[in-house]
Amino acid sequence: MQAGERIAGLCELGLRTIIDGRERDREFDRQQQLVRQRHLLLRGELLRAPGDMYPRLDYLDQRIAELKHTIAVMRGNLQHYVEQAEQLLAATTATG
């Protein structure tokens, strides 16, 4: 018997002891949500809200690397513009 089957069996056992129908439905939904979260975690995904998941870690790592590269390029460009502005300012003050 696999873990999922054991969980399903325990869920059924627990649900039969709840007499109130609404409470039983809430508990059933809660247990189903836990089983879905477990399956997602096994696949490397994390549930944020029903139907909404956080991005996978490998995707986030890739995006972080891309953004770090973009930041490095932008910092290089900014440094170049600052140097040009300083040269222009120095040339303007030297002649003025």
Q: How far apart are the C-alpha atoms of 89 and 78, rounded to whole Å? A: 16
Q: How many domains does the chain have?
A: 2
Closest CA to 39 of 9, 13, 8, 61: 8
Q: Are 15 and 30 within one domain?
A: yes
Q: How far apart are the C-alpha atoms of 90 and 94, rounded to whole Å? A: 6
Q: Are 83 and 44 within one domain?
A: no
Q: Are 47 and 66 within one domain?
A: no
How do residues 61-95 score in pLDDT, each as one tens digit?
A: 999 999 999 999 999 999 999 999 999 999 888 87
Q: Are 18 and 48 within one domain?
A: yes
Q: Are 21 and 64 within one domain?
A: no
pTM of the predicted protein model:
0.51
Q: Are 50 and 60 within one domain?
A: no
Q: Are 47 and 15 within one domain?
A: yes
Q: Are 46 and 70 within one domain?
A: no
Q: Are 60 and 73 within one domain?
A: yes
Q: How far apart are the C-alpha atoms of 6 and 12, rounded to whole Å? A: 10
pLDDT value of residue 58: 87
Residue 90's contacts (CB-CB under 8 Å, 6 or more residues apart) are none
How do residues 20-56 score in pLDDT, each as one tens digit?
A: 888 888 888 889 888 988 888 888 787 777 778 888 8
- Domain boundaries, position 7: 3-54
